[in-house]
Amino acid sequence: MNWITENWQNIVGIAGGVVMLARLIVKITPTPKDDTFLAKIVDVLKSVGLKID
């Protein structure tokens, strides 16, 4: 638990980068199935307190 609290900024930065990369990939693909999957992941991250727009 201490490791998480000490490295929280890095964890949030990595999560934000992964979501940004995923959004780019989702926009490239033509299917809506991946759009809904990414929306679910973003909802989970928002529920734990991350601000992702």
Q: What is the pLDDT of residues 1-44, one digit of tens each?
A: 899 899 989 988 898 899 899 999 999 999 899 899 999 988 98
Assess if residue 52 is contained within a domain: no
Rounded-to-integer distance, Cα 28 and Cα 32, Å:
11
Residue 52 region, left (φ>0) first, then alpha (ψ -120 to 50), else beta?
beta
- Give me the pLDDT at residue 12, please: 86
Assess if residue 42 is contained within a domain: yes
Is residue 51's pLDDT more than 80?
no
- Give me the pLDDT at residue 25, please: 92
Residue 49 region, left (φ>0) first, then alpha (ψ -120 to 50), else beta?
left
Cβ contact 26:35 at 8 Å? yes
How many structural domains compose the chain? 1
Assess if residue 26 is contained within a domain: yes
- Give me the pLDDT at residue 45, please: 84
Domain interval for residue 9: 2-47
- Give me the pLDDT at residue 7, please: 93
